[in-house]
Amino acid sequence: MKRFPLILYFISISQLFSQIVNEGTLKILPTTIVSLQDTYYNNTLGTHDNEGELYLNRDFINNGTTTNPTSGTTYFKSTVNTIQTISGITGGVNFYNMEVNVTGVDKKGVSVVDGFHLEVGNKVNLVSGDLRLVGQAQLVQSHIGANVNTTSGGSLLRDQQGISSVYGYNYWSSPVNNNSNSFSLNGGLYDGTDSNLNSFNPQQVLFNTGAPYNGLPASLDGSLNVVTPLYINNRWLYKYAPNTSGYAGWEQINKETPLLPGQGFTMKGTGLVGQNYVFKGLPNDGAYAFLINSGESTLLGNPYPSALDSEKFINDNLLILDKIQIWVDGGSNSHYLSNYLGGYSIQNLTGGVTPSVISSIAGVGTASGLIPKRYLAVGQGFFVQAISNGTINFNNSQRAFQIEDGINSNFYKTTNTKKQKSQTDVSDSFIRIGYEDPELFHRQLLLGFMPNSNADLNFNIGYDAIMADPREDELFYIIDNDLTKKYVIQGVGSYNNSYEFPIGIIITQAGNHTIMLDAVENFTDSVYIKDTSLNVTYNISEGSFALNLPPGQYLNRFKIVFMPVEALNLNEFDLNFFSVYSNNNNLIINNKNQIKLNRIVVFNMLGQKVVEISKNKLNKAQISLPFFYSNGMYLVFVESNKEKKTFKIIKQ
C-alpha cells in the first residue's frame, strides 16, 4: 500500500493498552492514507477531521467532535475482529464515504450502538460483512441525487417493532432494498425476536395461509434463541395505489412482490407484545418520486433507515399534498372489516391530531398517546391524497436523526406513548379540543397559533386539514363559512383573544355529547365554547361542556372563543345595578339604572324558548313576572339598544 504523509495539527496521539487516543486535532488531508490497527478513541477534547483515506482495524469510539468532511473514505477493514463497533458518548459520528470490508474469521461486520447517529455525507459501500444499526441507531445521508450506495456482499440490518395484535394492521415501508432497487418480504424481512442475542444472524420470517388467518410468534429455546421463526399471515399483505384493480384500491401482495423505495404496505402482527422485525438489504438513499393525479390517494412511507421530517416532506410537496394520514389501530379484536377499530391520525404543518377512537384507549383525552409526531420513524407507512397532479418527491434533505421518544417521533405500533411536548418553535401555541359521543368515541381538534407562519383566519394550505374519516356524530371546524367540509386542524398566525373560531356539531343519536379541553401547549388563557343562539359561554378550561341538544346539524351556533360573554359584550349591564333571578315562581329583573330594554327571552337548556317579553312592559326599576315552569336551569337573554347579555338562573 502506498502511504502518503500524515498531516497533524495540534494533535496528541498516544498508544496505551492497545488503544489509539486523539486528544487534539487529527486532520487527514485528501490523498493521505492512514491505517490505525488498534481501537481508536477520539476523546472529549479531540477533533476528528478525515478528508483522506482512513483504515480502521478495530473499533471507533467518538467522545469528541467529528467534522462534516467533503471528501475521503473511512474503511472498516478488520482482519482480526468478528465485529467492529461504532460508539461514543457524543451519540454520533460524521463520515464522507464509508466502506465495510470485514474479513476476519467468523466475520459479522460493523455494529452501530443503540441510539447512535451515523452521518455519511455521500456513499456507503458494503463489501464484506454487514452494517448493523442496533435498536434505534440511524443512518443519515445528505448528498443530492439518486442512491449511490453499493454492495458486493454485505447488507444493512435495522430493527423496528410492530403492533402486537394479530388483528391490527401496521402500515410499513422498508428502509432497505434487497432486489434490484426494490424490496420484497422474502429476503428482506427477518425475525428480530432474538436480536439482542443474534444481532447479525436473524432468521427469515415465515409465511402461513388459511384460517384463522393469524400470524404466530417465534418459538424459542431455553436461552431465548429463535428455533422456529415468526409467521406472517399472507392474507393481510396489501399495497395501495391509484387505479389498481384490487378492492377499493387495495391490491394483495405476497412475499415475492417487489415494492419500490417509499412504497407502503400493510401487515398484521404475531400476537407477541413488542414484536421486533429486522429489515435487511442495501440501505435506501437519495431521491425517489411517485406520480399522482389530483384526488388520488396512495400508500407511501418513510424510505430511509433514519427518521423522516414530515414538515420538510410536506413543504417540499406542498403543491401536490397538504397533509399525511397514519393508520392507528384502536384495539381491533376481529379480522372482520365491520369490527375494525381505529382511524387515521393526521399530521400537517400545524401539528398532529389523533384519530377518533374509543376513549378508554390510553392516551386519548390528553396530549399524548395517538398524536402523530413531526418525525416519522423508520419503517412508518402513511397515506397521502393529492390536491393536484404532479410528482411526490422524497430526498435526503427530508432525513433527520430522531429517536422514537414518543415526544418528537413514534412508530404507530402502540397506543401508549410518552407525553407530547410543544412543537419546536417556542413561540407557537396549541389548543386541543376534545369531543366524545355517546359510544365513547373521542375526537380531537387541533388549533395552532404560529406567529412565524403566514397563516390567517381563512383557509391555509398545509396548515388546515380536513378529517380523514368523519363519524356520524362529529365536532369540526368550519373555515371560510364552507359548511361542506369538516376540518380537524386549523392553523393561524399570532394569537389574539378576540378571535372566534366557528365549529360545527352533528348529532345523530341521543345520549351524552361532551366537549372538553384535552390539552394546551404553551397557552395560558381560558378557552370557552360560545353558544351564539343563547349568547352564553362555557369555560371548558374549568370543566367539560355537556351538550343537551336533540339530534340535528348545528353548523352556525357554536364557536371557540377566549373571553366570556361578559367580557365580549359592553358593560351596560353592571351586576351591581342589574340582576336576574327566580323567586317563588316569579322571574325577577332588577334594573336600578332603568336601562331601556327591548326584550327579554327565557330559554330552557334544550334551547327552547319558554317566555318572551316585549319592550312596552320593561320600563320599571324592578320587573316581576309569573314563572310557573319545572325546576332546573334556564337562560335569560336580555337585549338593550347597546348590549345583549345572557344570565343563568336556577328555579328550585
94-120 pLDDT per residue, tens:
999 999 999 988 899 999 999 999 999
Beta strand pairing status for 109-112 and 622-626? unpaired
SS (H, E, C) 570-582: CCCCCCCCEEEEE
Give the pLDDT score at 120: 98
* Residue that has been written with the C-alpha cell 384495539 in this structure: 331
AA letter at 518: D
535 pLDDT tier (thresholds 50, 70, 90): confident
- Note the pTM of the prediction, 2 decimals: 0.83
With CA atoms as reference, report the closest residue to 363 among 414, 421, 326, 415.
415
Averaged pLDDT for residues 39-43: 96
How many whole angstroms from its chain centre is CA 549? 34
Cell of 558: 357554536
Percent of the chain with pLDDT over 70: 89
The burial class, CB within 10 Å (0-12 / 13-18 / 19+), for 193 is buried
Would the pLDDT of 21 be above 90? yes
Ramachandran region of residue 303, left (φ > 0), alpha (ψ -120 to 50) or beta?
alpha
Spatial distance between the Cα atoms of 294 and 385, rounded to a whole number of angstroms: 8
Give the pLDDT score at 408: 58
Question: What is the tens place of the pLDDT at every residue in 335-351?
Answer: 877 777 778 999 999 99
Averaged pLDDT for residues 169-192: 95
Beta strand pairing status for 307-309 and 169-172? unpaired
Spatial distance between the Cα atoms of 627 and 584, rounded to a whole number of angstroms: 8
Question: What is the tens place of the pLDDT at every residue in 367-399?
Answer: 345 688 899 999 999 999 999 999 999 999 999
* Residue that has been written with the C-alpha cell 473514505 in this structure: 73
Q: Are 78 and 103 in contact (CB under 8 A)?
A: yes
Cell of 416: 401508549
Q: Are 270 and 220 in contact (CB under 8 A)?
A: no
Hey, which of 140-154, 230-244, 579-593 has the most confident mean pLDDT? 140-154
Question: What is the tens place of the pLDDT at every residue in 397-417?
Answer: 999 999 987 655 555 554 333
